[in-house]
Structure 1
Amino acid sequence: MTDRKDEIAGNLAAVEERIGAACAAAGRPREEVTLIVVTKTYPAADVRILSELGVRHVAENRDQDAAPKAAECSDLPLAWHFVGQLQTNKVRSVVGYADVVQSVDRSRLVTTLSREAVRAGREVGCLIQVALDAGESARGERGGVAPGGIAELADLVAGSPGLRMDGLMTVAPLTGEYAGRERAAFERMMDLSTDLRRTHPAATMVSAGMSADLEQAVAAGATHVRVGTAVLGVRPRLG
Protein backbone atom coordinates (compact mmCIF):
# COMPACT_ATOMS: atom_id res chain seq x y z
CA MET A 1 0.00 0.00 0.00
CA THR A 2 2.88 2.35 0.83
CA ASP A 3 4.35 1.72 -2.63
CA ARG A 4 1.01 2.54 -4.25
CA LYS A 5 0.66 5.69 -2.17
CA ASP A 6 4.18 6.79 -3.14
CA GLU A 7 3.42 6.10 -6.81
CA ILE A 8 0.18 8.10 -6.75
CA ALA A 9 1.79 10.92 -4.73
CA GLY A 10 4.61 11.21 -7.28
CA ASN A 11 2.21 11.21 -10.23
CA LEU A 12 -0.08 13.72 -8.51
CA ALA A 13 2.85 16.06 -7.83
CA ALA A 14 3.87 15.88 -11.50
CA VAL A 15 0.33 16.69 -12.66
CA GLU A 16 0.09 19.55 -10.15
CA GLU A 17 3.37 20.89 -11.56
CA ARG A 18 1.96 20.71 -15.11
CA ILE A 19 -1.20 22.55 -14.09
CA GLY A 20 0.83 25.16 -12.20
CA ALA A 21 3.13 25.73 -15.17
CA ALA A 22 0.17 25.96 -17.56
CA CYS A 23 -1.53 28.51 -15.29
CA ALA A 24 1.67 30.55 -15.05
CA ALA A 25 2.10 30.50 -18.83
CA ALA A 26 -1.50 31.67 -19.27
CA GLY A 27 -1.19 34.35 -16.59
CA ARG A 28 -3.85 32.65 -14.47
CA PRO A 29 -3.80 32.07 -10.69
CA ARG A 30 -3.36 28.36 -9.89
CA GLU A 31 -6.55 28.35 -7.80
CA GLU A 32 -8.64 29.07 -10.93
CA VAL A 33 -8.17 25.46 -12.10
CA THR A 34 -9.62 22.49 -10.23
CA LEU A 35 -8.16 19.02 -10.74
CA ILE A 36 -10.71 16.21 -10.99
CA VAL A 37 -9.07 12.78 -10.79
CA VAL A 38 -10.85 10.21 -12.96
CA THR A 39 -10.96 7.06 -10.82
CA LYS A 40 -12.85 4.76 -13.20
CA THR A 41 -11.58 1.13 -13.13
CA TYR A 42 -9.48 1.87 -10.04
CA PRO A 43 -10.34 0.46 -6.60
CA ALA A 44 -11.77 2.32 -3.63
CA ALA A 45 -8.35 1.95 -1.97
CA ASP A 46 -6.91 4.33 -4.59
CA VAL A 47 -9.72 6.82 -3.95
CA ARG A 48 -8.84 6.69 -0.24
CA ILE A 49 -5.17 7.40 -1.04
CA LEU A 50 -6.17 10.33 -3.25
CA SER A 51 -8.24 11.78 -0.42
CA GLU A 52 -5.31 11.42 2.00
CA LEU A 53 -3.17 13.30 -0.53
CA GLY A 54 -5.61 16.21 -0.60
CA VAL A 55 -7.66 15.46 -3.73
CA ARG A 56 -11.24 16.67 -3.30
CA HIS A 57 -12.83 15.93 -6.70
CA VAL A 58 -13.08 12.49 -8.32
CA ALA A 59 -14.92 11.33 -11.44
CA GLU A 60 -16.50 8.11 -12.64
CA ASN A 61 -18.14 7.15 -15.93
CA ARG A 62 -19.99 3.88 -15.18
CA ASP A 63 -22.61 3.66 -12.48
CA GLN A 64 -22.06 -0.05 -11.84
CA ASP A 65 -18.45 0.73 -10.83
CA ALA A 66 -19.10 4.08 -9.23
CA ALA A 67 -22.04 3.32 -6.93
CA PRO A 68 -20.30 0.70 -4.72
CA LYS A 69 -17.07 2.73 -4.70
CA ALA A 70 -18.84 5.92 -3.66
CA ALA A 71 -20.65 3.99 -0.90
CA GLU A 72 -17.36 2.54 0.35
CA CYS A 73 -15.82 6.04 0.37
CA SER A 74 -18.84 7.91 1.75
CA ASP A 75 -16.86 8.96 4.84
CA LEU A 76 -14.38 10.95 2.72
CA PRO A 77 -14.66 14.71 2.00
CA LEU A 78 -15.04 14.19 -1.75
CA ALA A 79 -17.17 15.65 -4.52
CA TRP A 80 -18.16 12.95 -7.04
CA HIS A 81 -18.55 13.86 -10.70
CA PHE A 82 -20.31 11.59 -13.19
CA VAL A 83 -18.69 12.03 -16.60
CA GLY A 84 -19.95 9.11 -18.72
CA GLN A 85 -22.93 8.79 -21.02
CA LEU A 86 -25.86 8.40 -18.66
CA GLN A 87 -28.85 6.17 -19.38
CA THR A 88 -32.07 7.27 -17.76
CA ASN A 89 -32.47 3.91 -15.97
CA LYS A 90 -29.23 4.63 -14.04
CA VAL A 91 -30.20 8.14 -12.95
CA ARG A 92 -31.73 7.17 -9.60
CA SER A 93 -28.53 5.41 -8.57
CA VAL A 94 -26.25 8.18 -9.86
CA VAL A 95 -28.21 10.92 -8.07
CA GLY A 96 -27.53 9.02 -4.83
CA TYR A 97 -23.82 9.91 -4.89
CA ALA A 98 -22.99 12.33 -7.73
CA ASP A 99 -22.61 15.98 -6.77
CA VAL A 100 -22.22 16.96 -10.42
CA VAL A 101 -23.33 15.23 -13.63
CA GLN A 102 -21.05 16.50 -16.40
CA SER A 103 -22.68 14.61 -19.27
CA VAL A 104 -26.13 16.21 -19.61
CA ASP A 105 -26.99 16.13 -23.32
CA ARG A 106 -30.74 15.66 -23.80
CA SER A 107 -34.02 16.90 -22.36
CA ARG A 108 -35.25 13.47 -21.24
CA LEU A 109 -32.15 13.10 -19.09
CA VAL A 110 -32.78 16.51 -17.53
CA THR A 111 -36.37 15.67 -16.56
CA THR A 112 -35.29 12.30 -15.09
CA LEU A 113 -32.42 13.89 -13.14
CA SER A 114 -34.78 16.52 -11.77
CA ARG A 115 -37.37 13.97 -10.65
CA GLU A 116 -34.79 11.79 -8.90
CA ALA A 117 -32.94 14.72 -7.31
CA VAL A 118 -36.21 15.98 -5.81
CA ARG A 119 -37.08 12.46 -4.63
CA ALA A 120 -33.65 12.13 -2.96
CA GLY A 121 -33.79 15.63 -1.49
CA ARG A 122 -30.53 16.57 -3.23
CA GLU A 123 -29.32 19.37 -5.47
CA VAL A 124 -27.27 18.07 -8.39
CA GLY A 125 -24.98 20.29 -10.42
CA CYS A 126 -25.27 19.84 -14.19
CA LEU A 127 -22.80 20.50 -16.98
CA ILE A 128 -24.02 20.37 -20.55
CA GLN A 129 -21.76 18.09 -22.56
CA VAL A 130 -20.93 19.79 -25.85
CA ALA A 131 -20.04 17.78 -28.95
CA LEU A 132 -17.85 20.11 -30.98
CA ASP A 133 -17.73 17.52 -33.77
CA ALA A 134 -21.53 17.44 -34.15
CA GLY A 135 -23.50 19.48 -36.65
CA GLU A 136 -25.64 22.30 -35.33
CA SER A 137 -28.42 19.93 -34.30
CA ALA A 138 -27.03 16.37 -34.12
CA ARG A 139 -25.68 14.65 -31.03
CA GLY A 140 -22.02 13.69 -31.00
CA GLU A 141 -20.67 10.21 -31.41
CA ARG A 142 -19.60 10.05 -27.76
CA GLY A 143 -22.63 11.90 -26.47
CA GLY A 144 -22.99 15.62 -26.17
CA VAL A 145 -25.23 18.22 -27.70
CA ALA A 146 -24.24 20.37 -30.68
CA PRO A 147 -23.36 23.99 -29.86
CA GLY A 148 -26.71 25.12 -31.27
CA GLY A 149 -28.57 23.07 -28.64
CA ILE A 150 -26.87 24.49 -25.54
CA ALA A 151 -29.21 27.40 -24.81
CA GLU A 152 -32.43 25.37 -24.85
CA LEU A 153 -30.97 22.63 -22.64
CA ALA A 154 -29.47 25.17 -20.21
CA ASP A 155 -32.85 26.87 -19.79
CA LEU A 156 -34.44 23.49 -19.10
CA VAL A 157 -31.82 22.60 -16.45
CA ALA A 158 -32.09 26.02 -14.81
CA GLY A 159 -35.86 25.70 -14.57
CA SER A 160 -35.83 22.16 -13.18
CA PRO A 161 -36.24 21.57 -9.43
CA GLY A 162 -33.30 19.84 -7.76
CA LEU A 163 -30.83 20.80 -10.51
CA ARG A 164 -28.22 23.55 -10.72
CA MET A 165 -26.92 24.86 -14.05
CA ASP A 166 -23.15 24.86 -13.50
CA GLY A 167 -21.59 25.14 -16.97
CA LEU A 168 -20.19 23.15 -19.88
CA MET A 169 -18.07 20.05 -20.49
CA THR A 170 -16.35 18.72 -23.60
CA VAL A 171 -13.90 16.10 -24.82
CA ALA A 172 -11.47 17.20 -27.54
CA PRO A 173 -12.92 15.84 -30.82
CA LEU A 174 -11.09 13.08 -32.68
CA THR A 175 -12.81 13.91 -35.97
CA GLY A 176 -14.08 16.98 -37.80
CA GLU A 177 -12.60 20.46 -37.96
CA TYR A 178 -11.09 20.30 -34.47
CA ALA A 179 -9.32 16.93 -34.83
CA GLY A 180 -5.75 17.43 -33.60
CA ARG A 181 -6.53 21.08 -32.76
CA GLU A 182 -7.24 20.82 -29.04
CA ARG A 183 -6.41 24.44 -28.24
CA ALA A 184 -8.80 25.71 -30.93
CA ALA A 185 -11.51 23.31 -29.66
CA PHE A 186 -11.13 24.55 -26.09
CA GLU A 187 -11.13 28.18 -27.19
CA ARG A 188 -14.42 27.52 -28.98
CA MET A 189 -15.73 26.11 -25.68
CA MET A 190 -14.78 29.31 -23.89
CA ASP A 191 -16.74 31.33 -26.47
CA LEU A 192 -19.74 29.06 -25.87
CA SER A 193 -19.30 29.51 -22.11
CA THR A 194 -19.30 33.30 -22.52
CA ASP A 195 -22.56 33.04 -24.49
CA LEU A 196 -24.11 30.80 -21.82
CA ARG A 197 -23.15 33.13 -18.96
CA ARG A 198 -25.08 35.98 -20.56
CA THR A 199 -28.30 34.18 -19.62
CA HIS A 200 -26.98 31.98 -16.78
CA PRO A 201 -24.30 34.05 -15.00
CA ALA A 202 -23.61 31.37 -12.36
CA ALA A 203 -22.80 28.70 -14.98
CA THR A 204 -19.07 29.39 -14.83
CA MET A 205 -17.63 25.85 -14.94
CA VAL A 206 -15.81 24.73 -18.06
CA SER A 207 -14.63 21.12 -17.76
CA ALA A 208 -12.14 20.39 -20.54
CA GLY A 209 -8.75 18.80 -20.91
CA MET A 210 -7.44 15.41 -19.84
CA SER A 211 -4.05 13.78 -19.26
CA ALA A 212 -2.77 14.46 -22.79
CA ASP A 213 -4.13 17.97 -23.38
CA LEU A 214 -4.63 19.67 -20.02
CA GLU A 215 -2.14 22.44 -20.92
CA GLN A 216 -4.18 23.48 -23.96
CA ALA A 217 -7.37 23.49 -21.86
CA VAL A 218 -5.79 25.66 -19.15
CA ALA A 219 -4.40 28.02 -21.80
CA ALA A 220 -7.89 28.42 -23.27
CA GLY A 221 -9.47 29.14 -19.87
CA ALA A 222 -10.90 25.83 -18.58
CA THR A 223 -11.85 25.87 -14.90
CA HIS A 224 -11.69 22.07 -14.39
CA VAL A 225 -9.43 19.40 -15.90
CA ARG A 226 -10.19 15.67 -15.74
CA VAL A 227 -7.07 13.56 -15.31
CA GLY A 228 -6.95 9.79 -14.84
CA THR A 229 -3.96 8.01 -16.38
CA ALA A 230 -1.38 10.68 -15.52
CA VAL A 231 -2.28 10.37 -11.82
CA LEU A 232 -3.24 6.71 -11.40
CA GLY A 233 -1.19 5.04 -14.13
CA VAL A 234 -2.24 2.96 -17.11
CA ARG A 235 -5.66 1.51 -16.38
CA PRO A 236 -5.98 -2.17 -15.61
CA ARG A 237 -7.86 -3.94 -18.39
CA LEU A 238 -11.45 -4.75 -17.62
CA GLY A 239 -12.29 -8.41 -17.97
Structure 2
Amino acid sequence: MDFPSYLGTMPMHAITEIHGEPGLLERFRLEIGTFDDDARARLSEALDLAADLHRDDRRVREPYLNHLLRVAIRMMHHYQVRDVDVIVAGLLHDAVEDHPAALAGPVAEGVDPVPAALAVLADRFGHRVARLVAAVTNPSWDPDRDRHVQYREHVAASLERDPWARVIKISDFTDNGVGVIHTTGPKVLSLARKYRPLVPILRELVARPDTPLAPAVKEHISAQLDLAEERFRAILDNPVRAH
Protein backbone atom coordinates (compact mmCIF):
# COMPACT_ATOMS: atom_id res chain seq x y z
CA MET A 1 0.00 0.00 0.00
CA ASP A 2 1.26 3.47 -0.90
CA PHE A 3 1.16 6.12 1.80
CA PRO A 4 1.54 9.89 1.43
CA SER A 5 4.97 11.37 2.09
CA TYR A 6 3.47 13.44 4.93
CA LEU A 7 2.23 10.37 6.86
CA GLY A 8 4.80 11.15 9.55
CA THR A 9 3.05 14.41 10.42
CA MET A 10 -0.59 13.43 9.85
CA PRO A 11 -2.91 13.52 12.88
CA MET A 12 -3.49 10.00 14.11
CA HIS A 13 -7.26 10.21 13.79
CA ALA A 14 -6.77 11.10 10.12
CA ILE A 15 -4.42 8.15 9.58
CA THR A 16 -6.95 5.90 11.32
CA GLU A 17 -9.87 7.12 9.20
CA ILE A 18 -8.05 7.15 5.86
CA HIS A 19 -5.47 4.36 6.08
CA GLY A 20 -6.61 2.23 9.04
CA GLU A 21 -4.31 -0.27 10.72
CA PRO A 22 -1.80 -0.45 7.82
CA GLY A 23 -1.34 3.32 8.02
CA LEU A 24 -0.80 3.27 11.77
CA LEU A 25 1.68 0.41 11.42
CA GLU A 26 3.61 2.38 8.83
CA ARG A 27 3.56 5.49 11.05
CA PHE A 28 4.89 3.36 13.92
CA ARG A 29 7.72 2.12 11.69
CA LEU A 30 8.55 5.71 10.77
CA GLU A 31 8.64 6.74 14.43
CA ILE A 32 10.99 3.93 15.47
CA GLY A 33 13.25 4.51 12.46
CA THR A 34 15.46 6.87 14.45
CA PHE A 35 16.07 4.32 17.23
CA ASP A 36 19.09 2.01 17.19
CA ASP A 37 18.88 -1.59 16.01
CA ASP A 38 18.44 -3.12 19.46
CA ALA A 39 15.66 -0.70 20.36
CA ARG A 40 13.83 -1.31 17.07
CA ALA A 41 14.08 -5.06 17.63
CA ARG A 42 12.56 -4.77 21.14
CA LEU A 43 9.80 -2.47 19.92
CA SER A 44 8.99 -4.74 16.99
CA GLU A 45 8.88 -7.77 19.29
CA ALA A 46 6.48 -5.95 21.62
CA LEU A 47 4.29 -4.95 18.68
CA ASP A 48 4.20 -8.54 17.41
CA LEU A 49 3.17 -9.80 20.85
CA ALA A 50 0.47 -7.13 21.19
CA ALA A 51 -0.85 -7.95 17.72
CA ASP A 52 -1.00 -11.65 18.57
CA LEU A 53 -2.70 -11.23 21.96
CA HIS A 54 -5.28 -8.75 20.66
CA ARG A 55 -5.74 -10.27 17.19
CA ASP A 56 -9.45 -10.98 17.71
CA ASP A 57 -10.23 -7.84 19.75
CA ARG A 58 -12.26 -4.97 18.35
CA ARG A 59 -12.66 -1.43 19.58
CA VAL A 60 -16.06 -0.18 18.38
CA ARG A 61 -15.38 -0.22 14.62
CA GLU A 62 -11.65 -0.87 14.40
CA PRO A 63 -9.03 -3.47 15.38
CA TYR A 64 -7.94 -3.03 19.00
CA LEU A 65 -4.32 -2.88 17.85
CA ASN A 66 -5.04 0.59 16.46
CA HIS A 67 -5.53 1.89 20.00
CA LEU A 68 -2.22 0.40 21.16
CA LEU A 69 -0.39 1.83 18.16
CA ARG A 70 -1.81 5.31 18.79
CA VAL A 71 -0.79 5.14 22.46
CA ALA A 72 2.79 4.30 21.48
CA ILE A 73 3.00 6.74 18.57
CA ARG A 74 1.59 9.56 20.71
CA MET A 75 4.28 9.00 23.32
CA MET A 76 7.06 9.03 20.74
CA HIS A 77 5.82 11.88 18.57
CA HIS A 78 3.89 14.23 20.85
CA TYR A 79 5.48 13.43 24.23
CA GLN A 80 9.03 13.09 22.87
CA VAL A 81 9.57 9.81 24.74
CA ARG A 82 12.76 7.97 23.80
CA ASP A 83 12.69 5.49 26.68
CA VAL A 84 12.20 2.12 24.99
CA ASP A 85 10.87 0.42 28.14
CA VAL A 86 8.07 2.97 28.35
CA ILE A 87 7.07 2.57 24.70
CA VAL A 88 7.15 -1.23 25.00
CA ALA A 89 4.93 -0.99 28.08
CA GLY A 90 2.60 1.32 26.14
CA LEU A 91 2.17 -1.27 23.41
CA LEU A 92 1.50 -3.96 26.02
CA HIS A 93 -0.43 -1.89 28.55
CA ASP A 94 -3.64 -3.91 28.11
CA ALA A 95 -2.02 -7.32 27.60
CA VAL A 96 -2.18 -8.50 31.21
CA GLU A 97 -5.57 -6.98 31.92
CA ASP A 98 -7.24 -8.38 28.80
CA HIS A 99 -5.36 -11.62 28.10
CA PRO A 100 -3.55 -12.83 31.22
CA ALA A 101 -4.17 -16.53 30.54
CA ALA A 102 -2.95 -16.34 26.93
CA LEU A 103 0.17 -14.51 28.05
CA ALA A 104 0.86 -16.67 31.10
CA GLY A 105 0.32 -20.04 29.47
CA PRO A 106 -0.92 -23.04 31.48
CA VAL A 107 -1.47 -22.40 35.19
CA ALA A 108 -3.06 -24.57 37.85
CA GLU A 109 -6.84 -24.45 38.09
CA GLY A 110 -7.98 -21.65 40.36
CA VAL A 111 -4.63 -19.82 40.17
CA ASP A 112 -4.70 -16.16 39.18
CA PRO A 113 -2.82 -15.93 35.85
CA VAL A 114 -1.95 -12.23 36.31
CA PRO A 115 1.29 -12.72 38.30
CA ALA A 116 2.42 -15.37 35.82
CA ALA A 117 1.59 -13.07 32.90
CA LEU A 118 3.63 -10.26 34.45
CA ALA A 119 6.48 -12.72 34.98
CA VAL A 120 6.42 -13.56 31.27
CA LEU A 121 6.70 -9.87 30.42
CA ALA A 122 9.55 -9.48 32.89
CA ASP A 123 11.36 -12.41 31.31
CA ARG A 124 10.90 -11.17 27.75
CA PHE A 125 11.20 -7.41 28.19
CA GLY A 126 12.65 -6.79 31.64
CA HIS A 127 11.32 -6.16 35.13
CA ARG A 128 10.80 -2.45 34.52
CA VAL A 129 8.42 -3.09 31.62
CA ALA A 130 6.49 -5.56 33.74
CA ARG A 131 6.30 -3.05 36.59
CA LEU A 132 4.99 -0.32 34.28
CA VAL A 133 2.35 -2.63 32.81
CA ALA A 134 1.32 -3.69 36.32
CA ALA A 135 0.91 -0.03 37.29
CA VAL A 136 -1.64 0.57 34.52
CA THR A 137 -3.41 -2.79 34.85
CA ASN A 138 -6.77 -2.54 36.60
CA PRO A 139 -7.38 -5.01 39.43
CA SER A 140 -10.35 -7.36 39.36
CA TRP A 141 -13.59 -5.57 40.15
CA ASP A 142 -14.80 -5.84 43.72
CA PRO A 143 -18.59 -6.37 43.37
CA ASP A 144 -19.12 -4.62 46.71
CA ARG A 145 -17.74 -1.40 45.28
CA ASP A 146 -18.69 1.03 42.54
CA ARG A 147 -16.71 -0.06 39.48
CA HIS A 148 -15.82 3.47 38.36
CA VAL A 149 -14.82 4.64 41.84
CA GLN A 150 -12.55 1.61 42.24
CA TYR A 151 -11.01 2.35 38.85
CA ARG A 152 -10.28 5.98 39.68
CA GLU A 153 -8.80 5.14 43.08
CA HIS A 154 -6.54 2.53 41.51
CA VAL A 155 -5.37 4.95 38.81
CA ALA A 156 -4.60 7.70 41.33
CA ALA A 157 -2.72 5.35 43.67
CA SER A 158 -0.66 3.54 41.02
CA LEU A 159 0.29 6.74 39.17
CA GLU A 160 1.24 8.42 42.42
CA ARG A 161 4.03 5.87 42.79
CA ASP A 162 5.40 5.73 39.23
CA PRO A 163 5.96 8.91 37.18
CA TRP A 164 6.60 7.00 33.94
CA ALA A 165 3.36 5.08 34.35
CA ARG A 166 1.64 8.49 34.27
CA VAL A 167 3.02 9.03 30.78
CA ILE A 168 1.56 5.74 29.53
CA LYS A 169 -1.77 6.35 31.24
CA ILE A 170 -2.18 9.88 29.90
CA SER A 171 -1.59 8.65 26.34
CA ASP A 172 -4.12 5.87 26.92
CA PHE A 173 -6.57 8.33 28.47
CA THR A 174 -6.15 10.79 25.61
CA ASP A 175 -6.99 8.10 23.09
CA ASN A 176 -10.04 7.09 25.13
CA GLY A 177 -11.15 10.53 26.31
CA VAL A 178 -10.53 12.80 23.35
CA GLY A 179 -11.47 9.88 21.12
CA VAL A 180 -14.83 9.38 22.82
CA ILE A 181 -16.48 11.16 19.90
CA HIS A 182 -15.65 8.13 17.76
CA THR A 183 -17.72 5.87 20.03
CA THR A 184 -21.41 5.28 19.36
CA GLY A 185 -24.43 4.00 21.25
CA PRO A 186 -25.08 3.87 25.00
CA LYS A 187 -21.40 3.21 25.70
CA VAL A 188 -20.71 6.91 25.03
CA LEU A 189 -22.47 7.96 28.24
CA SER A 190 -20.85 5.18 30.26
CA LEU A 191 -17.37 6.16 29.09
CA ALA A 192 -17.96 9.84 29.73
CA ARG A 193 -19.11 9.10 33.29
CA LYS A 194 -16.11 6.84 33.83
CA TYR A 195 -13.46 9.16 32.47
CA ARG A 196 -14.62 12.69 33.31
CA PRO A 197 -13.70 12.52 37.03
CA LEU A 198 -10.19 11.45 36.02
CA VAL A 199 -9.44 14.74 34.27
CA PRO A 200 -8.47 16.76 37.38
CA ILE A 201 -6.54 13.79 38.80
CA LEU A 202 -4.47 13.38 35.65
CA ARG A 203 -4.03 17.13 35.24
CA GLU A 204 -2.49 17.39 38.69
CA LEU A 205 -0.27 14.33 38.23
CA VAL A 206 1.05 15.46 34.84
CA ALA A 207 1.87 18.93 36.19
CA ARG A 208 4.07 17.55 38.96
CA PRO A 209 7.80 18.30 38.71
CA ASP A 210 8.70 14.60 38.82
CA THR A 211 6.59 13.75 35.77
CA PRO A 212 9.36 13.23 33.17
CA LEU A 213 8.01 15.38 30.36
CA ALA A 214 9.16 18.71 28.92
CA PRO A 215 7.14 21.84 29.82
CA ALA A 216 5.88 22.19 26.24
CA VAL A 217 4.66 18.57 26.30
CA LYS A 218 2.83 19.18 29.56
CA GLU A 219 1.14 22.20 27.98
CA HIS A 220 0.11 20.04 25.03
CA ILE A 221 -1.35 17.43 27.38
CA SER A 222 -3.19 20.11 29.34
CA ALA A 223 -4.85 21.26 26.11
CA GLN A 224 -5.84 17.67 25.33
CA LEU A 225 -7.36 17.32 28.79
CA ASP A 226 -9.31 20.53 28.17
CA LEU A 227 -10.64 19.04 24.94
CA ALA A 228 -11.57 15.77 26.66
CA GLU A 229 -13.40 17.68 29.41
CA GLU A 230 -15.25 19.72 26.78
CA ARG A 231 -16.40 16.54 25.04
CA PHE A 232 -17.41 14.82 28.28
CA ARG A 233 -19.42 17.88 29.28
CA ALA A 234 -21.19 18.01 25.93
CA ILE A 235 -22.10 14.31 26.18
CA LEU A 236 -23.27 14.38 29.80
CA ASP A 237 -25.18 17.65 29.46
CA ASN A 238 -26.98 16.34 26.38
CA PRO A 239 -27.46 12.61 27.05
CA VAL A 240 -30.26 12.18 24.50
CA ARG A 241 -28.15 13.65 21.70
CA ALA A 242 -25.17 11.49 22.79
CA HIS A 243 -27.15 8.41 21.79
Q: Structure 2 length as normaliser, TM-score?
A: 0.37
Higher helix share: 2
Q: Structure 1 length as normaliser, TM-score?
A: 0.37
Higher strand share: 1
